[in-house]
Structure 1
Amino acid sequence: FLIFFGGLDQSIECESVDRTSITIPDIQFSLIHQLEKVVRSSIHVVIMSGSGLDLTYIRDSPQFDSLIWIGYAGQSDGLAISNVVFDQYNPGRRLPIAMYSASYVDNVSMFDMQMISSSTNPDRTYKFYTGKAVYKFGSGLSYTTFLYSWNNDSSISSSYSILSLIKKNYDEHRVLIRLFRVNVTNTGDISDDDVVLAFVRSRKATMNGEISPIKQLFGFERVSLAVNQTKEVFFPLTVRHLLTIARDGTKWLHPGSYDILIGQQHMHTLKLYGQSIQWASKRHVFPSNENI
């Protein structure tokens, strides 16, 4: 087999240097096409960059058996990569960004920093992007498999009064709504790490006129597991994770149903009931101007 190393360097992306595209350099694409013509064995690709790239062609070509993306590494990057390629180490990583197709940047205005789509911008990030990403935020493969399940004391649904939450504290970081406990089991054939991602999403498309995120990360935990081993991980959900930020910068807590996802798996539905409030550092403001 053959391993192709490519990507970017700091002559293309660094402080004060803006890229003109999110594709790999043309000369590398030319070499890739030549390799496809002459190499009859499998080709494995390692791409190094400090930001997202459109890797659609490599992903979809049947001649490329694997693709590894890494950020800029240190002096031992060669050894680290070889250990991963030759199954000596399983990194258990998750992609920290979403990777878009090359045409995405043609639709982005440098003068519009909104997260939600407008006449000059598409949606941004996993929270709002409704298109098909080349690789989604949180993507990652493993040499083994994992199973997620609730701990015995985690039910499939719960409900809370907004009024009861606001009486606890004015600090949204400290008002705990629920502690979710998840069992992670290594169901494969080798020991490995898993990075467990916890998301929350509103079932309402909009909240008082503001577009709700598709989902929002509220926790992640790395866990090392031997074959058939199970460990418990914890994800605290606080008021901060359910606040909606209005266009004027104010924070609001709205009633409604919220789904808790562990990875892509729907595990729990949480319901807030009562009246919408503006969450503030010293007092909470109700739409009716009734203050508590």
Structure 2
Amino acid sequence: MAHRDLALEAAQDGIVLLKNDAGALPLDRATVRSAAVIGPNANDPAALNGNYFGPPCETTTPLQGVQRYISSVRFLAGCDSPACGFAATGQAAALASSSDQVIMFMGLSQDQEKEGLDRTSLLLPGKQQSLITAVASAARRPVILVLLTGGPVDVTFAKNNPKIGAILWAGYPGQAGGLAVAKVLFGDHNPSGRLPVTWYPEEFTRIPMTDMRMRADPATGYPGRSYRFYQGNPVYKFGYGLSYSKFSRRLVAAAKPRRPNRNLLAGVIPKQAGDGGESYHVEEIGEEGCERLKFPATVEVHNHGPMDGKHSVLVFVRWPNATAGASRPARQLVGFSSQHVRAGEKARLTMEINPCEHLSRAREDGTKVIDRGSHFLKVGEEDDEWEISFDA
């Protein structure tokens, strides 16, 4: 029994709420008398498994999960498979127009992405996009779109479509995935997942996969890779994820670090960096000096309600414009943690910051350095920042 509970917990915690216009989710069982479940990933147990998995003892598909909450559920696959070479668009639209609520389970499968099989497009395969759009247009209420994929997909069309009220990304959630998704859909679990990768637009696929440069090159139009260096407009950012509750975060003033001890850096001479500015070599600071530079970063999380829920805190470091350069990332993740917080209450999370590891960067020649001057700690996209100054 414990392994089943763990499978459910892991699936729930991994679900990311990407869109929730006008509070489309969670669904109210009292007002949803009938539901249409549409999509090739709705009732296929294999669609829940990633590339590496053991045979589960039992599996709950998304359709079965929804049926636990609503008695009147009609199902249509809509496509012959996730590849969606054929789509029953007219039939799906008719079903949508005669149901109180439509939930679509779309995405990918191991036939599109797995070890040894790379995708050449970030779009949903085949006729999925046209099917989703047609169903959304025919539905009485804004449609709920659930994506089962391993990697990112460009769903800009759904993000910008007002007839699609909410988007959930569930990854490949495993044996309890169907129940986990249903619990999120109907409000028995408050989603707290965050995207582990950047969701790039389809135009990003024009860049050869063999071009593995991380840093952007404005001269040639190369946009860079990863949240650290990408300068384009992502579909969704790394670390993005919504909740049914409103959370706020702030760096606790009483715990703000002071200027690093001058004595620790007194014997270290900053050197001119080839890409601008001055920096301290981590190797010269030494293991003992690096240990003594560590400090705690405490973040206060406030759940303004209306639901209890877990909240994930991501702490980034950014560099000021004065030290901006092609080799420096726009921002860099230095810590993350999560905490369950009851509605109306506050909680504090403390993470250790190691400047030699977290505030340093690798120069193009591979040397690990800490830039002289100011560094700023940020909590997600919040304006609240700590300034940490390195100056002997």
Task: Find the counterpart in structure 1 of residue 280 from structure 2.
Answer: none
3-state DSSP of counterpart to 1:84: helix
1:149 Cα offset (Å):
2.9
2:359 is matched with which residue: 223, 242, 246?
A: 242
Answering whether residue 258 of structure 2 is matched by residue 158 of structure 1, we say yes
Question: What is the TM-score normalised by the length of structure 1?
Answer: 0.86
Task: Find the counterpart in structure 1 of residue 152 from structure 2.
Answer: 52
Answering whether residue 314 of structure 2 is matched by residue 213 of structure 1, we say no
Task: Find the counterpart in structure 2 of residue 73 from structure 1.
Answer: 173
1:144 is matched with which residue: 245, 261, 281?
A: 245
Q: Deviations over 1:212-249 (max 9, x none)?
A: 11111100111001122221111211121121211221
Answering whether residue 373 of structure 2 is matched by residue 272 of structure 1, we say no
- Hey, what's the Cα distance between the residues in 2 that align with 1:114 and 1:172? 33
Task: Find the counterpart in structure 2 of residue 113 from structure 1.
Answer: 212
Letter aligned with residue 348 of structure 2:
E
The 5 Å alignment of 1:66-105 reads 66-105=166-205
Answering whether residue 280 of structure 2 is matched by residue 179 of structure 1, we say no
Structure 2, unpaired ranges of 5+ = 1-100, 269-283
1:231 is matched with which residue: 347, 351, 355?
A: 347
3-state DSSP of counterpart to 2:227: helix
Q: Is contact 2:154–2:199 with CA below 8 Å preserved after alignment?
A: yes
Q: Deviations over 1:250-289 (max 9, x none)?
A: 1112211111101222321111113xxxxxxxxxxxxxxx
Question: What is the TM-score normalised by the length of structure 2?
Answer: 0.65
Letter aligned with residue 64 of structure 1:
I
Higher relative contact order (CA 8 A, sep 6+): 2
Q: Is contact 1:144–1:187 with CA below 8 Å preserved after alignment?
A: yes
- Hey, what's the Cα distance between the residues in 2 that align with 1:172 and 1:120? 41
- Hey, what's the Cα distance between the residues in 2 that align with 1:196 and 1:6? 29
1:6 Cα offset (Å):
0.3
Which of the two has greater helix per residue?
A: 2
Structure 1, unpaired ranges of 5+ = 275-292
Q: Is contact 1:161–1:273 with CA below 8 Å preserved after alignment?
A: no
Bigger Cα Rg: 2
1:251 is matched with which residue: 352, 359, 368?
A: 368
Task: Find the counterpart in structure 2 of residue 36 from structure 1.
Answer: 136
**Equivalenced residues, count:** 271
Task: Find the counterpart in structure 2 of residue 27 from structure 1.
Answer: 127
Cα 1:243–1:35 change in 2 (3 A) is same
Q: Deviations over 1:88-117 (max 9, x none)?
A: 1113111111101111111x2233211012
Cα 1:183–1:36 change in 2 (3 A) is closer
- Hey, what's the Cα distance between the residues in 2 that align with 1:257 and 1:45? 43
Q: Percent of aligned pairs with the same residue?
A: 32
Letter aligned with residue 217 of structure 1:
L
2:162 is matched with which residue: 62, 65, 70?
A: 62
Which of the two has greater strand per residue?
A: 1
Answering whether residue 307 of structure 2 is matched by residue 190 of structure 1, we say yes
Q: Deviations over 1:4-43 (max 9, x none)?
A: 1100001000011111101101221121132134223221
- Hey, what's the Cα distance between the residues in 2 that align with 1:46 and 1:210? 38
Q: Is contact 2:123–2:155 with CA below 8 Å preserved after alignment?
A: yes
- Hey, what's the Cα distance between the residues in 2 that align with 1:109 and 1:235? 38
Cα 1:186–1:17 change in 2 (3 A) is same
CA RMSD between the two structures? 2.2
